[in-house]
A and B are shown apart, each in its own frame.
Chain A
Amino acid sequence: MAGQEQQQPQSRDSQVDEDIPEAPPAPPEAQASASTEGVDDLLDEIDGVLESNAEEFVRAFVQKGGQ
């Protein structure tokens, strides 16, 4: 037997899959501020994930043609 069946690449994460739960409707102002906080928090996380030296990294991403 080839190893295909036994060797599985690791799963992405163990997060339980589910659609985004529908939150109960909130007053418009509260909703807006919660969503802004969520975005700020998200951007903070992504700041830590982005490659350093954006300009150089983006410039170096040069591809050969494809279909």
Chain B
Amino acid sequence: MTGAQGAADGEALPVGGAMRVMGAETEYGIHAPSAPSANATMMSARVVQAYAQVTRQRAAGGAETRWDYTDEEPLHDARGWTVDRGAAHPTQLTDQPPVLDAEAVALAYGREELELDGQDESGTLLMNMVLGNGARLYVDHAHPEYSSPEVTNPRDAVAWDAAGDLVGLAAVRRLAADPTLPPVNLYKNNTDNKSVSYGSHENYLMPRSVPFGDIVRGLTPFFVSRQVVCGAGRLGIGQDSSAPGFQISQRADFFEAEVGLETTIRRPIINTRDEPHATADKYRRLHVIIGDANLSQVSNYLKFGTTALVLSLIEAGLAPKIEVYEPVAALKTVSHDTSLTAKLRLLDGRRVTALDLQWIYHEAAAKLAQDTGVGDTVDGDGHTHEVLERWASVLTQLDSDRAAAATSVEWLAKLSLLDGYRQRDGLEWNDARLGLVDLQWADIRPEKGLYYRLLSRNRMQRVVDDSAIAAAVAHPPADTRAFFRGKCISSFGKDVVGASWDSVIFDVPGYGRLQRVPTREPLRGTKALTGALFERYREAAPFLGELLGHNSTPPAA
């Protein structure tokens, strides 16, 4: 064992299973059908703005919540070096606030497009919000992105990621009700099927003491194969969908390297961005870019849960000793084989299917969970047992009962729907109606999104109930620092001028300067540690006074 997270302060999660500090980032596809040439960055900003209006946060704060970029280090490579800024692709410079003025938009997307959009509103657009549930909602290049608050387990990961879909839905509704603006649709998918992909990333906290090489070796065969459980399904083969057909993953065809720092070009299976957003000598934040955005709750749950289990194996030095021959090609082979029978070559000469690989990892994870006790149904950590059970159940169904698997595995649910159309109407794979089914699967409006139509007929299984997701829109998780961040926004929003994953910045009347509260331990700032403090104060000044150990009155300015 390499030690528990946050152990120094006594807040540690059980080691060896599926519990871990984790979070999701989702970039939504954005489209205004009535204004197809509208600028995507401006539309994304309108989404953020609309949500600010829904929550009235802006009215309370008087301005957007600025992102605090102090600790962002997007060019730090986990392999031990830093990329020179001049050598980096401009999209890698994520530590600079996006200034959306007309000139920046023109530089990025061409002046003509800006003129097409018509309105010169760029000076007033809202680009970033920190939400009362601890999440961040912002404009990432040309997409609205919801980054979930930090949670400690896969069930909460599903709830707070799905909460992002409700945040987006609230913004979409608001824009649809505004007669002066074109309605905007948001899609929880990862490609426009015309050569462009946008990401949904996962983040996992790990002890820095784990060698990065172990992470690469332990994760690569797992990432090549886990899409059979959590792929979202995609119509078309190749980045530009030039070959007709259906494949398991939205993202597989966009990956071109095994390991690397980039996220927008030459995408690697293992991303090495090393921004811990926490105490840097203790933690690494593993930034996973290979996943599909999931609407299916079971696929999403297993995406986070099984990956957390495999990271526990790696930390324990017990990851299966397997190496896949040419993993980038193998990733595509798996994605393009919906029969799940394709054999991958291992470097030791064995030939195995993606399901075989998943079972190898399952067996190792189940053994570790048993040895550490975290998988026990009664005395375990309350999560690992369920992840292992659901994982085994889905793998078994994928092998022997695909109709049952289609109620939980997203790509298979989508494929079943497409097959229904193909059979009823005799459609070829390249028929536009199938393309529309693939796209509209991911529309986040429940009346239009085809995933939601299946969900409403109980054709898709749930992991969390609707009330838990609705609660996650308004409230932060109780057991991470996201609690502190979210409560600062909801309780003292007008006095918070900036925030980030590891800080909240106050501008309180009476204090002579800004007060930056660092939150570098992800398992502190919890409800247990700070809940009573929030209960005690209605005003930020005395709250800060007690928190920072000042007298209860602010110092003279």
Q: Which residues of B contact A65 (CB under 8 A)?
A: 91, 141-142, 196-198, 264
Partner-contacting stretch, out of B12-20, B29-37, B521-529:
B29-37
- Asked if B199 and A9 make an inter-chain contact with CB atoms under 8 angstroms apart, the answer reads no
15 A-B pairs besides A20-B459, A58-B435, A63-B196 with CB distance below 8 A are: A1-B493, A4-B131, A5-B132, A15-B456, A21-B458, A46-B453, A49-B440, A49-B447, A51-B436, A64-B109, A64-B196, A65-B142, A65-B264, A67-B141, A67-B198
Q: Which of A3, A18, A42, A54 contacts B55 (CB 8 A)?
A: A3
Whether A8 contacts B470 in the complex (CB less than 8 A), given A20-B407, A58-B432, A67-B264, comes out as yes
Contact with A along B430-470 (1 / 0, CB 8 A): 00110111011000001110101111111101101111011
Q: Which residues of B contact A54 (CB under 8 A)?
A: 432-433, 435-436
Q: List 7 A-B contacts (CB under 8 A).
A: A4-B133, A12-B452, A15-B456, A39-B420, A40-B424, A43-B424, A64-B141
A45 CA / B437 CA spacing, docked (Å): 13
For residue A55, CB closer than 8 A to chain B, the reply is: yes
- Asked if B466 and A15 make an inter-chain contact with CB atoms under 8 angstroms apart, the answer reads yes
Partner-contacting stretch, out of B166-174, B203-211, B274-282, B498-506:
B166-174
- Asked if B450 and A49 make an inter-chain contact with CB atoms under 8 angstroms apart, the answer reads yes
Q: Which residues of B contact A58 (CB under 8 A)?
A: 193, 432, 435-436, 439
A59 CA / B33 CA spacing, docked (Å): 11
Q: Which residues of A contact B77 (CB under 8 A)?
A: none
Q: Closest A-chain residue to B468, C-beta based?
A: A17
Whether A2 contacts B142 in the complex (CB less than 8 A), given A20-B407, A58-B439, comes out as no
A2 CA / B420 CA spacing, docked (Å): 47
Nearest CB on B from A10, distance (A): 8
A66 CA / B427 CA spacing, docked (Å): 32
A9 CA / B445 CA spacing, docked (Å): 12
Q: Per DSSP, are chain A's interface residues mostly helix, strand or loop, or mixed?
A: loop
For residue A33, CB closer than 8 A to chain B, the reply is: no
For residue B489, CB closer than 8 A to chain A, the reply is: yes
Q: Which residues of A contact B435 (CB under 8 A)?
A: 54, 58
For residue B351, CB closer than 8 A to chain A, the reply is: no
Contact with B along A30-67 (1 / 0, CB 8 A): 00000100011011011001110011011011111111
Q: Which residues of A contact B31 (CB under 8 A)?
A: 60-61, 63
Chain A interface size, as a band, is: 35 or more
Q: Which of A15, A49, A60, A66 contacts B196 (CB 8 A)?
A: A66
- Asked if A63 and B30 make an inter-chain contact with CB atoms under 8 angstroms apart, the answer reads yes
Q: Closest B-chain residue to A41, C-beta based?
A: B457
Q: Which residues of B contact A57 (CB under 8 A)?
A: 33, 436, 439
Q: Closest A-chain residue to B431, C-beta based?
A: A54
Interface residues of chain A, those whose CB is within 8 Å of chain B, are: 1-5, 7-15, 17-21, 35, 39-40, 42-43, 45-46, 49-51, 54-55, 57-58, 60-67
Name the residue in A14, A46, A55, A61 with the highest tally of chain B Cβ atoms < 10 Å from its Cβ: A61
Q: Which of B60, B194, B417, B421 contacts A2 (CB 8 A)?
A: B60
Q: Which of B254-307 contact A (CB under 8 A)?
A: 263-264, 289
For residue B201, CB closer than 8 A to chain A, the reply is: yes
Q: Which residues of A contact B173 (CB under 8 A)?
A: 9-10
Q: Which residues of B contact A13 (CB under 8 A)?
A: 446, 456, 466
For residue B384, CB closer than 8 A to chain A, the reply is: no
Q: What 5 A-B pairs come out closest when comparing CB atoms?
A: A66-B198, A4-B132, A64-B142, A9-B170, A2-B493
- Asked if A4 and B61 make an inter-chain contact with CB atoms under 8 angstroms apart, the answer reads no
Whether A17 contacts B140 in the complex (CB less than 8 A), given A9-B54, A61-B439, A67-B289, comes out as no
A65 CA / B267 CA spacing, docked (Å): 12
A7 CA / B61 CA spacing, docked (Å): 16
Nearest CB on B from A48, distance (A): 10
Q: Which residues of B contact A66 (CB under 8 A)?
A: 27, 140-143, 196-199, 264
For residue B40, CB closer than 8 A to chain A, the reply is: yes
Contact with A along B489-516 (1 / 0, CB 8 A): 1110110000000000000000000000
Name the residue in A2, A7, A17, A66 with the highest tally of chain B Cβ atoms < 10 Å from its Cβ: A66
For residue B474, CB closer than 8 A to chain A, the reply is: yes
- Asked if B192 and A55 make an inter-chain contact with CB atoms under 8 angstroms apart, the answer reads no
- Asked if A4 and B198 make an inter-chain contact with CB atoms under 8 angstroms apart, the answer reads no
Q: Which residues of B contact A67 (CB under 8 A)?
A: 27, 91, 140-141, 198-199, 201, 263-264, 289
Q: Closest A-chain residue to B461, C-beta based?
A: A19
- Asked if A2 and B141 make an inter-chain contact with CB atoms under 8 angstroms apart, the answer reads no
Q: Which residues of A contact B36 (CB under 8 A)?
A: 60, 62
Nearest CB on B from A5, distance (A): 5
Nearest CB on A from B526, distance (A): 19
For residue B83, CB closer than 8 A to chain A, the reply is: no
For residue B57, CB closer than 8 A to chain A, the reply is: yes
For residue B415, CB closer than 8 A to chain A, the reply is: no
For residue B56, CB closer than 8 A to chain A, the reply is: yes
